[in-house]
Structure 1
Amino acid sequence: MTDLEPRPAEVVPHDPNAVLSPAALDRLDRSIPENTKTAYRRQARDFVAWCEERGRDTLPASAQTLADYVSHLCDLDRAPSTIEQAIATIRVAHREAGHDGKPDTRAALRILKTHKRDRAEAGKRKKKAPPVTLTALRAIIDATDPTTLAGRRDRVMVVLGFAMMARRSELAALRIEDVTFTDDGLTILIRKSKTDQDAEGAEVNIPHGVHPDTDPVRVVRAWLDRLQAADGPLLRRINRWDQLQPGGMSGAAINERVRALAIRAGLPNGADFTAHGLRAGGPTEAAKAGQPVSFIADHGRWSKTSPQVLEYIRPVDKWRDNPMRGIGL
Structure 2
Amino acid sequence: MTNKPVVLQPEYDVVSSTYKANNATEIRPSHLEAIYSKVGAEITEEMAETAAEFLKEYASIKGGMRDSSWAALQYHWHMFASYCKERGYQPIPTQHSVLKGYIEYRATLVKWSSLRSDVWAINSINKASGFGSPGADPIILATVKRISEKQVAEGRSIKQATALTYHDLMIIIENLENTTSLKELRALTCIALSFNCMLRSSELLALKVSDIDFKDKMLTIRISKTNHSGKPEVLRLSQFVIDILHKYFKLIGWDYEDPKLQDKNLFQRISRYDRLIKNNAPITTDTLREQVYKFAFEMVKDNHINEPPFSTHSSRVGGCQMLWEKKATLEEIMKTGRWSSSEMAYRYGRGYELVESTMNDTFDKK
Query: What TM-score do you get using the length of structure 2 for normalisation?
Result: 0.67
Unpaired segments ≥5 residues, structure 1: 1-7, 210-215, 319-329
Output aligned runs, 1:139-150, within 5 Å: 139-141=171-173, 146-150=179-183
Aligned match of 2:26: 18
Per-residue deviation at 1:28? 6.9
Aligned match of 2:248: 223
* Distance of 1:95 and 1:154 partners within structure 2: 43
Aligned match of 2:227: 196
Output aligned runs, 1:63-212, within 5 Å: 63-76=96-109, 78-100=110-132, 102=134, 112-113=144-145, 115-141=147-173, 146-182=179-215, 186-209=217-240
Give the paired residue count: 298
Per-residue deviation at 1:88? 2.0
Deviations 1:152-188 (A, max 9, x none): 1111100000111222222112111221223x7x322
Per-residue deviation at 1:289? 3.7
SS at match of 2:94: coil
* Distance of 1:239 and 1:79 partners within structure 2: 41
Let me know the Cα RMSD of the aligned residues: 3.7
* Distance of 2:134 and 2:345 partners within structure 1: 35
* Distance of 1:114 and 1:290 partners within structure 2: 32
Per-residue deviation at 1:56? 2.4
In structure 1, give the amino acid aligned to 2:115.
Answer: I
Q: 1:256 to 1:58 in 2, by over 3 A?
A: farther
* Distance of 1:53 and 1:242 partners within structure 2: 53
Per-residue deviation at 1:72? 3.1
Contact 1:238 1:244 (C-alpha < 8 Å) held by counterparts: yes
* Distance of 2:324 and 2:141 partners within structure 1: 37
Percent identity of paired positions between Structure 1 and Structure 2:
22
Aligned match of 2:80: 47
* Distance of 2:212 and 2:227 partners within structure 1: 19
Q: 1:187 to 1:91 in 2, by over 3 A?
A: closer
Query: What TM-score do you get using the length of structure 1 for normalisation?
Result: 0.74
* Distance of 1:105 and 1:208 partners within structure 2: 50
In structure 1, give the amino acid aligned to 2:352.
Answer: V
* Distance of 1:28 and 1:104 partners within structure 2: 24
Q: 1:65 to 1:163 in 2, by over 3 A?
A: same
Identify the match of residue 69 of structure 2 among 36, 43, 50. 36
Q: 1:70 to 1:288 in 2, by over 3 A?
A: closer
Per-residue deviation at 1:252? 6.1
In structure 2, give the amino acid aligned to 1:201.
Answer: P
Per-residue deviation at 1:117? 5.0
Aligned match of 1:61: 94
Contact 2:195 2:318 (C-alpha < 8 Å) held by counterparts: yes
* Distance of 1:11 and 1:133 partners within structure 2: 55
In structure 2, give the amino acid aligned to 1:207.
Answer: S
Q: 1:306 to 1:34 in 2, by over 3 A?
A: farther
* Distance of 1:119 and 1:142 partners within structure 2: 42
Larger radius of gyration: 2
* Distance of 1:11 and 1:207 partners within structure 2: 55
Contact 1:143 1:261 (C-alpha < 8 Å) held by counterparts: no
* Distance of 2:86 and 2:290 partners within structure 1: 35
Unpaired segments ≥5 residues, structure 2: 1-13, 29-56, 255-260, 355-366
Per-residue deviation at 1:112? 4.1
